[in-house]
């Protein structure tokens, strides 16, 4: 049935890890500090190194949108809401815009949900244009740089391209008015029109409290070799079945659905989080975008992430040593996953697990309420602080303009 057979040697290696070595691999691993500059960045404290001014916008740009649909607090793009709440009480906030290093415009661009809870970004360009028109008309700070000392949280699939389908997102490109600003976004893929140079790439939102309630004892054996739950085909949006995940997920299913080392299914059991904690490897393949919350969940639960997404730019890549904690598999190599994973030595697996056990790395992937030192909020601030001081070239000369207010689809120009 399309299953790729394991070589005898590979199977023996896998069997050793899967049975005899399972108990040892499941035990509470000692923590290993992240070495070098990554560890320094991970543990850095941004407080005292920057000041942020928050524009006070009418509530129709944020709070009223959330009141209309509280489900926005739980989806994978909720970082835009929690970042706003964090900054309102953060010690980096300044009420004096004259001393600000950065300016923040709180627009909830992904809190427009379909009945089944999927965010649609079609109104986002109009919202953003409207908000920028407002701040540029009421404060002098946007106009002096055209946003080069401003940052926006745009966490949707393709960031500020504002479309959920890649070809349409590429066609739109990044919203013209945001092309000088710094973007805080989940989307990250090298050499892609929707990833702006200098963007701060963050993890998707995963509810910290929900995950913490599913923790199991540290010494539970990792008796599952490879684990994945999710779609393999998105029939509703990709009826021919070849575009979704660039075929990588379909290849996982066709090659390994009957492989005893691979626990893969479309079913999402109530024990999903517990199962990840019992697994050695967790597949993190691309979907419509290169990333998913599985990446966060794998790190939190100490399951080695198997990252299948060519040219992905990962969250906080200067602080988290992804090459050391994860396994990268090219999309075209998915049919060889069994050979690739069974060839990894127990020593390498144990080191990856020790690094994953580092509390500071887990903390950096979460947006907890309330905020905690070293969490994802602080990693965003670290990213902003490292971009200081601003180069003098960000300030425009009299009469100088870069951005085109009338660029983009006609529909984006309608009032919001």
pLDDT of residue 33: 64
| pLDDT given for residue 12 in this prediction | 46
Lowest mean pLDDT among 111-120, 145-154, 336-345: 111-120
Percent of the chain residues past pLDDT 70, beyond the cut: 90
What residue ranges do the domains of the chain occupy?
52-205+375-394, 208-365
Summarize the confidence of residues 335-342 as an average pLDDT: 98
pLDDT per residue as tens digits for the range 183-216: 999 999 999 999 999 999 999 999 999 999 999 9
pLDDT at 234: 86
- For residue 164, name the pLDDT band (cuts at 50, 70, 90): confident
365 alpha carbon, distance to own chain's centre: 9
Q: What is the structure's pLDDT at 38?
A: 64
Tell me the pLDDT tens digit for each residue of 342-363. Answer: 999 999 999 999 999 999 999 9
Residue-wise pLDDT for 214-230, tens only, equals 999 988 999 999 999 99
The confidence score (pLDDT) of residue 8 equals 42
Pick the CATH number of 208-365 from 2.60.40, 3.40.50, 3.30.2420, 1.10.260: 3.40.50
Model-level pTM greater than 0.75? yes
- Sheet with 200-201, side-by-side order of all strands: 52-54, 102-104, 150-153, 182-185, 200-201
How large is the average pLDDT for residues 17-35? Answer: 53
Rg (CA), the chain: 22
CA–CA distance, 118 with 269 (Å, rounded to integer)? 21
- For 275-324, what is each residue's pLDDT tens digit? 999 999 999 999 888 888 999 999 999 999 999 999 999 999 989 999 99
Q: What is the pLDDT of residue 56?
A: 97
Arithmetic mean of pLDDT over the chain: 90
**What does the pLDDT read at residue 39?**
67
Is residue 2 pLDDT above 70, yes or no?
no
How confident is residue 20, by pLDDT bands cut at 50, 70 and 90? Answer: very low
What is the average per-residue pLDDT within 9-20? 47
Residue position matching structure tokens 């079945």? 241
Q: How far is CA 84 from CA 119, 135, 308, 371, in A?
A: 19, 17, 32, 12
Residue 1 scores a pLDDT above 50:
no
Residues 6 or more apart whose Cβ sits within 8 Å of residue 387:
182, 198
> What local confidence, expressed as pLDDT, does residue 37 receive?
62
């Amino acid at each position: 049935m399309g299953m790729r057979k394991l070589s005898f040697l590979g199977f023996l290696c896998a069997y050793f890890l899967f049975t005899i070595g399972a108990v040892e691999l499941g035990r509470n691993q000692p923590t290993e500090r992240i070495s070098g500059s990554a560890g320094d960045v991970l543990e850095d404290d941004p407080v005292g190194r920057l000041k942020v001014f928050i524009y006070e916008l009418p509530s129709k740009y944020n709070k009223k949108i959330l009141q209309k649909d509280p489900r926005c607090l739980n989806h994978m793009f909720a970082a835009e809401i929690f970042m706003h709440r964090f900054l309102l009480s953060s010690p980096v906030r300044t009420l004096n815009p004259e001393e600000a290093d950065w300016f923040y415009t709180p627009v909830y661009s992904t809190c427009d949900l379909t009945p089944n809870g999927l965010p649609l970004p079609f109104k986002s360009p109009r919202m953003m244009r409207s908000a920028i028109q407002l701040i540029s008309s009421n404060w002098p700070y946007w106009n002096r740089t055209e946003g080069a000392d401003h940052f926006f949280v745009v966490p949707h699939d393709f960031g500020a391209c504002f479309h959920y389908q890649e070809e349409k997102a590429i066609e739109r490109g990044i919203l013209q008015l945001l092309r000088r600003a710094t973007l805080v976004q989940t989307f990250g893929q090298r050499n892609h029109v929707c990833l702006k140079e200098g963007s701060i790439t963050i993890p998707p939102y995963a509810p910290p409290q929900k995950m913490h309630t599913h923790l199991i004892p540290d010494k539970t054996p990792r008796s599952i070799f490879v684990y994945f739950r999710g779609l393999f085909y998105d029939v509703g949006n990709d009826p021919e079945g070849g575009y979704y995940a660039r075929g990588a997920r379909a290849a996982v299913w066709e090659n390994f659905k009957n492989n005893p080392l691979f626990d893969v299914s479309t079913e999402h059991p109530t024990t999903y989080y517990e199962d990840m904690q019992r697994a050695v490897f967790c597949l993190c393949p691309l979907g419509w975008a290169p990333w998913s919350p599985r990446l966060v969940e794998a790190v939190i639960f100490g399951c080695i992430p198997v990252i299948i997404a060519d040219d992905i730019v990962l969250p906080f890549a200067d602080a988290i040593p992804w090459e050391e904690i994860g396994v990268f598999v090219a999309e075209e190599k998915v049919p060889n996953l069994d050979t690739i994973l069974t060839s990894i030595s127990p020593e390498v697996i144990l080191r990856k697990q020790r690094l994953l056990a580092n509390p500071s790395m887990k903390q950096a992937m979460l947006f907890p309420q309330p905020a905690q030192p070293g969490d994802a909020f602080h990693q965003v601030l670290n990213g902003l602080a490292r971009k200081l001081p601003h180069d003098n070239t960000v300030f425009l000369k009299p009469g100088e303009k870069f951005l085109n207010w009338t660029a983009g689809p006609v529909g984006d120009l309608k009032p919001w």
